[in-house]
Structure 1
């Protein structure tokens, strides 16, 4: 089993839509996938039209003394999702403290899931470090847009995690220039592909579907499929 996480370099870079698209693409390639929402915003399930699961989720279950894994939903026989649940800010901070206190919690949970899935995909919030303590992770990807804010934040953040450029517009001179700079300075970190700006991604969320289901021939869906293929190749290289 392989774990992958996505975290935005800043808020609003499309991380949740992207991980929903990746999960759908991996499943279409024959992989068994569990999507796990680590964000108190609890938006990942909306990409799969699960409006009724707002109150359920692993974090909600922890507070209510219920089984965390029984909160998972089967979207297809090989694509499942584990929502976060609807919590108040105070309740989310209580979960944060529990995760900080027990940093091995998701290590144990990953071990218990290993026999059932090929991939665990974690949607990790930008802040809340406890929520980002998810145990072993082969591909901890940072998601960025080619804009000035992400450029500054990447310079400020020391790290070696892979960086994926989302919503890339090749018609933008600024974005092309920044991508050239990033390829020079982050050559060992930058993924060899980008996810292009595509209105189909926004429309897919409005229709509560991953982009590969909503518009399989769209550029964003093809980019997500390319990303899934890269993930499979990277797993083989790092095995």
Structure 2
């Protein structure tokens, strides 16, 4: 089983939408996929028509003493979603402390899932260190936008994780200039494609669907398919 994680350089860069799109794309390519929402905001479920009032999830189960794996929703025969659950901020901080106290918890959980899925995809929060301790991950991708805030944050952060540019607008001179700078100075980290700015991605969430299901011919759906195909190719090279 291969792990992929998406984590925003800052908030609001569309990480959950991209993860939903990539998970659906991998599913359409015949892979068995489990998507796990590690964010207290618990938004990933909304991309797959789970009702907003549904409170269950792995973190909710963790506090209530229930089985975490029983909280997963089967969306299709080879596609599943494990929501975070509805928690107060204080409850999420209790979960954070438990994860910090047991940093290999998700590594053990990943091992228990290996026989059932080809891919496990993690939607990671920005600043909760414990929630980001997910175990072995072949594709720890950071999601960014071509704007000044992300540029500064990436310079401050450093690191070696692959970078995916989301909501790229080729008509924007600023975005083109920033992408040129990144291709010069961050060439070893920058993925060889972007996810373009596309109204279909925003509409898909309004219709409670991943973009590949809502508008399979859209530019953003094709970009997500390109990322899924790239991941499959790199996985074969790593084996």
* Structure 2 partner of 1:107: 107
- Supply the distance in 1 between the matched residues of 2:156 and 2:60 (Cα, whole angstroms): 34
Please state whether the residue corresponding to 1:220 is helix, strand or coil: helix
2:217 and 2:138 map into 1 onto residues whose CA distance is 29
Give matches, 1:14-25, under 5 Å. Answer: 14-25=14-25
Aligned-residue offset at 1:34: 0.0
> Separation in 2 of the partners of 1:212 and 1:4?
18
Give, in whole Å, the separation in 1 of the partners of 2:15 and 2:28: 20
- Checking the alignment, whether the CA contact within 8 Å between 1:3 and 1:137 is kept in structure 2 is yes
Contact conserved, 1:23 with 1:121, CA < 8 A, in 2?
yes
1:53-132 superposed matches below 5 A:
54-132=54-132
Task: Name the SS for the 1:106 alignment partner.
Answer: helix
The 5 A counterparts of 1:170-209 are 170-209=170-209
Q: How does 1:146-161 map to 2 (within 5 A)?
A: 146-161=146-161
How far, CA to CA, are the matches of 1:128 and 1:230 in structure 2? 28
1:218: which partner in 2? Answer: 218
**Is residue 235 from structure 1 mapped to residue 215 from structure 2 by the alignment?**
no
* Stretches of structure 1 lacking an aligned partner (at least 5 in a row): none
Moved more, 50-59 or 120-129: 50-59
Runs of 4+ off more than 4 Å? none
The answer on whether the counterparts of 1:42 and 1:54 sit within 8 Å (CA) in structure 2 is no
**Aligned CA-pair RMSD:** 0.7
Once residues 121 and 179 of structure 1 are traced to their aligned partners in structure 2, the CA distance between those partners, rounded to angstroms, is 26
1:169/1:175 contact within 8 Å kept: yes
Q: Partners of 2:117 and 2:109 in 1: how far apart? A: 12
Aligned to 1:45: 45
* Separation in 1, partners of 2:141, 2:37: 15
The answer to whether 1:33 aligns with 2:33 is yes
The 3-state SS of whatever aligns with 1:74 is strand
TM-score, scaled to structure 1? 0.99
Matches of 1:85 and 1:53, distance apart in 2: 10
> Any stretches of 5+ residues in structure 2 without a counterpart?
none
The count of corresponding residues between Structure 1 and Structure 2 is 239
Contact 2:46 2:52 in 1 (8 A): no
Between the aligned partners of 1:206 and 1:150, the Cα distance in structure 2 is 26
For residues 140-161 of structure 1, give each alpha carbon's deviation from its aligned partner in whole angstroms, at most 9, with x where no partner exists.
0000000000000000012100
TM-score normalised per structure 2: 0.99
